[in-house]
Structures are given as C-alpha cells and as structure tokens.
Structure 1
Amino acid sequence: MQSFFLDITTVMQSQLWFYLTTIGLVSLCVGSFLNVVIYRLPLMMQREWQGECRLLLESELKNNKADTNEPFNLVKPNSCCPKCKAAIKPWQNIPIISWLLLKGKCATCDNPISVRYPIVEAITAILSLVVAYTFGATEQALLYIIVTWILLALTFIDIDHMLLPDQLTLPLLWLALIASVMGYTIAPSDAIIGAACGYLSLWSVFWLFKLITGKEGMGYGDFKLLAVFGALLGWQSLLTIILLSSVVGAIIGIALLTVQGKDKATPIPFGPYLAIAGWITMLWGEQLQTSYFNLIGY
C-alpha cells in the first residue's frame, strides 16, 4: 500500500497535468460537499442550542415545530429540493455540470437553484489549483489545500450568519499545530507562539474597543481564526494579515454598504476578510513583505 502511494506521488510530481487534473476534480467534489457544510452546519448548531434550551426550560419551544428526533447532520437527510422535497438524484449532483444541464432549476418543480452552489464549487477548484500549482505535489500543498477548503466554508458561513463555528476553527487550529510538529510548516515553538499572539492580538483590540465604546467590534471566532494563521505561518505574518484584512474589509465593506444603502453602523463580518488576507499571505506572504520593505527603502 505504501509503495502504491509512493508511485502515485511520483507520477503526480512528474506529470503536472495529471496532478492538477486530479486536484481540480477532487476539489469540485469537495466544493459540492462544502455547500452542504455551509447550509447545514449553522442549522445543526441552532438545533443543538434549541435542544439545550428545551432541557433547561423543560418545555418545547412553541415557535419551532421541527422534528429534532430525525437525524440532521452533514450526511443525513439526503439532499432534496427545499420546495417540493424531491430527492436529488446522483446524476443531478455533479458539480457545476448538473446545475448547467438543469438550467438552475429543480428537475421536479422548476424551483430556482441558487447560482451560489456552482460558484462555491468553481471557487473551491480554482483556489485549490492555485495552491497545487504554487507548491507542487508536496505535503505542504495538501495541507494548504485542506486549509483552503475549510476557509471557504468559514467565509460563506460568516457571510450568512455572522458566525465562525468552533467546529471548523478549532480542528483547523489543531491541524496547523500538528503540521508544525510533523515538519510541514514552521517550528512547533513558533507555531505555539504564533497561535497565542494571533488570538491575544485581536482579543486585546476587542476589549479595548469594548471598554471605550461599550460595543463589541468583533466575535471570538475572529480571534481563533487569526490564531490559526499564527500557528500555520508564525507570529511574523500576523501584521501582514491584519493590515491586508483591514484594507480589504474597509474597501469592500464600505462599497457594499453604499450599494445596498445600509447604515454605516450595520455589522459587517470580519471573518471573510481575515480568511482572504490569511490565504494570500499563506501563498505569497514573503513576496509581499519583500515588496513592502523595498517600497519603504528598508
């Protein structure tokens, strides 16, 4: 078995087209699963919270008639149309292609299927291919591709629900720490220091802002996400990530508020901008730092 995997790795390292094609196809399928995670994980958390409330209050929540005895997780129930509840056939679940063939509608009731599903699938494949091409057929590439997948799920969940679930951020943090121990990234001591600095830096800003204004400027999920990048890339990368995320967040956030006509006090999720900045730094952080130092004449 080990020799088989070695042979596959050798082929991927020598045949770039085979390697990228494999990564692209697998990532498309993963992107389809990420759509399930993005939709179901917040609902699973909500049902868990409601169950805890029922136990605490010893009574049913009158406004929720859902049968929580039926399994609801990332595997069950099977995917179906949210309107007519018709089961989605396997051939109707092929990433991107099925959506195009169905013309963005349910095959049974013609209910529109959100264009975001194929978009998530396409983005997953494209970003994974960028990582694969940048790092080649290496353990580091596989690690960063997995990180990319989880970051995409976190990004869209935060956009939808202003939430970065611990079910995703904490495993990602442990993955980064274990990768450092296995020698795929930075030294374990640097990873631990980076995780601590990442968490405490935003945690300090959070409490300083709250003491001054009496308001909460961000959530604890943002602290944990920055801790992930600290563990993955080291504390030296944190300033680059914070600066990038602040600039990108300010530009996109102001633009969205202006286009949508919302008040400037409207909460904006910070997680997507942290994820974007961290992903960019993960791939091109050294080049960015070199360009910055050259720009200031350092």
Structure 2
Amino acid sequence: MAASLLDAALAGTVGLLIGSFLNVVIYRLPKMLEAQWAAECSEFSGHATGEHPPPAFNLMVPRSACPHCRHVIRWYENIPVVSYALLRGRCSACAQGISIRYPLVEIATGALFFFSIRRWGITPEGVVWSAYAATLLALALIDWDTTLLPDDITLPLLWGGLLASAMHWIQTPLSSSVWGAAAGYISLWLVYWLFKLATGKEGMGYGDFKLFAALGAWFGWQALVPIILMASVIGALVGIAMKFSAGLREGNYIPFGPFLAFAGLTAMWAGPQNILQFIFSMLGL
C-alpha cells in the first residue's frame, strides 16, 4: 500500500537523521573492532596489564570532532545536510574541508527511506525495507574503506530477512528465504575454495558469504543468480576503469561487498526478475 507524498517526505526526513548516524557507524565500527581484536591479542599473548584502560570509544562516545583540530561538533553543526551547506563544507573552527561523503550518505539514506515508504507505505514492510536499505549502505561503505564486512551488521541483516519472511512482513516465503540464505552462503564459499585451490590466493572474504546469504534471505534463492551477475558485472566494469586510471589499491584488488550491496539495492528497487533484463540491455545483448 503506497504512502502519500507527505508520509514519504516525513520518512525521508527520518532517513536523513539515520544517515547522520550511519556516518558514525561507518567511521567508528571498524575502529572499535580493531581495538577489540588488539585487546584480545594482547590478552592471549599475556601482555595485557589492565593498568591504563583506553578511553571509551563506541558509537555514542566521545562526541564527534573535527579530525584536523579536534573541535567538538556542536548540535547545530550536525544537522543533516543543512549544517554542511551553512558551513560551506568546512569546519567552523579551523576552516578545513569536510568530506562531501557525509551529506551524500545522509541524502542517500533519506532517498532510500522516501522510496521504501512511498512504495510500501507506513507498514511493517515499508519499515523493514527501509532498515534493509540503510544497512546495505553502511556495509558497502565500510567494506570500501576497510575491506571489512562486520558480523555485527551482516548477521543481523541475515536474521532480519528470515524474521521478516517468517512474520510475513515481506513477500518472500519462509522456505524460499531459508534456502536462499543457505544457497547464498554455500555458493560463494565454494567459489572461494575453488579459486584458492586453483590460484593459491583468496578471492574474497567470509563476510561476502554472509552478505550474499543475507540477500538470499530477503529475496529467496531464485534471486541469487541475478544478484550475483549484477554484482560481478558492475564490479568488473569498475575494476577495469580503476585499473586504467591507476586507482587500484596495493595488491590490485577491490572489495566485492559494495557491488553485492548495490545489486541488493537494485533488487529492492526494480525487483530481482528485472535485473537480468537490465544486465543484458547494459551489455547490448
């Protein structure tokens, strides 16, 4: 049941606020995980003393600050999109530039919320698809920055798809959702090991298996082939472009997660059944 433009606009406004929080998650969660792993390694090696615990660092504290001068961001400097425009993309204290990605993430999240509620209404289906889209956006950017797909996000996304199917909040039947999750994980796990046995290298990480399993849970096993084809084609095109522009990172690799996430968002927008047609038309077939 589609929502009115007003309801969708209100949802988009909420999405802007969620996007602001996503910026925090994208930046801080990998650092939190690295600190956790370092502490565990120190503990296992017997080097942990516990005399000087590090200051609290999580999604809530400390308050956001300018990375250049450490100026603490005031609440009125943190209004999604508006503050960036009023500050002209610069820190109010040191005038250093602020990355354009912050407002872009907020705008993208707002647009995804607007689309979801406009299409499915203010219903459980509209709410869960909004959450799904925001989660994929966060995963895509974390993986692009760090090559990490944290279990803290991929596993809730997977279980969220199964729960949404079981509660009939989405149109994917539970049996298709369960088989989609299993097939998504196993298929990429097999590709990983075949590639490793053939080349001695790791072509992807376990986070990719879990993300593909999550997409299978949301859309069912029937959607896996279109999704993986779209992710592979877009990834190959981006990789070729980056190679010719000397934009590849050390080791000549790009993470696969962002392209899986893009394909997952495309499946939400257009439907998995239309992805193959889009790929064929893009390739001129």
TM-score greater than 0.5 by the shorter chain: yes
**Deviation of 1:261 (Å):** 5.1
**Deviation of 1:21 (Å):** 1.4
From the superposition, tell whether residues 288 and 68 of structure 1 become closer, same or farther in structure 2 (CA, over 3 Å).
Answer: farther
In 1, the alpha carbon distance for the partners of 2:17 and 2:5 equals 19
- Alignment deviations for residues 165-216 of structure 1 (CA, whole Å, 9 cap, x no partner): 0000001111111111101222222211110000000000000000101100
- Alignment deviations for residues 16-47 of structure 1 (CA, whole Å, 9 cap, x no partner): 12211111100000000000000000000010
- The one of 7, 14, 19 equivalent to 1:19 is 7
Q: 3-state SS of the aligned residue for 1:31?
A: helix
From the superposition, tell whether residues 55 and 130 of structure 1 become closer, same or farther in structure 2 (CA, over 3 Å).
Answer: same
8 Å Cα contact 1:134-1:283 kept in structure 2: no
Within a 5 Å distance, the mapping from 1:4-153 to structure 2 comes to: 16-59=4-47, 68-153=53-138
Q: 3-state SS of the aligned residue for 2:245?
A: helix
From the superposition, tell whether residues 247 and 14 of structure 1 become closer, same or farther in structure 2 (CA, over 3 Å).
Answer: closer
When structure 1 is superposed on structure 2, of 123-132 and 198-207 the one drifting more is 123-132
Q: Across the two proteins, how many residue pairs are aligned to each other? A: 277
The answer for the alignment partner of 1:175 in structure 2 is 160
8 Å Cα contact 2:15-2:112 kept in structure 1: no
- The one of 226, 245, 255 equivalent to 1:240 is 226
**Deviation of 1:291 (Å):** 4.5
In 1, the alpha carbon distance for the partners of 2:158 and 2:81 equals 31
From the superposition, tell whether residues 263 and 165 of structure 1 become closer, same or farther in structure 2 (CA, over 3 Å).
Answer: closer
8 Å Cα contact 2:226-2:272 kept in structure 1: no
**Deviation of 1:119 (Å):** 1.0
From the superposition, tell whether residues 142 and 60 of structure 1 become closer, same or farther in structure 2 (CA, over 3 Å).
Answer: same
From the superposition, tell whether residues 245 and 15 of structure 1 become closer, same or farther in structure 2 (CA, over 3 Å).
Answer: closer
- The one of 251, 265, 269 equivalent to 1:279 is 265
**Deviation of 1:284 (Å):** 1.8
Which amino acid in the other structure matches residue 152 of structure 1? L
The answer for the alignment partner of 1:203 in structure 2 is 189
- Alignment deviations for residues 236-277 of structure 1 (CA, whole Å, 9 cap, x no partner): 000000111111111112112222354895111000000111
- Give the aligned CA root-mean-square deviation in angstroms: 2.2
When structure 1 is superposed on structure 2, of 167-176 and 105-114 the one drifting more is 105-114
In 2, the alpha carbon distance for the partners of 1:271 and 1:220 equals 11
Higher relative contact order (CA 8 A, sep 6+): 2
**Deviation of 1:136 (Å):** 3.0
From the superposition, tell whether residues 14 and 40 of structure 1 become closer, same or farther in structure 2 (CA, over 3 Å).
Answer: closer
**Deviation of 1:132 (Å):** 2.4
Length-normalised TM-score, structure 1: 0.87
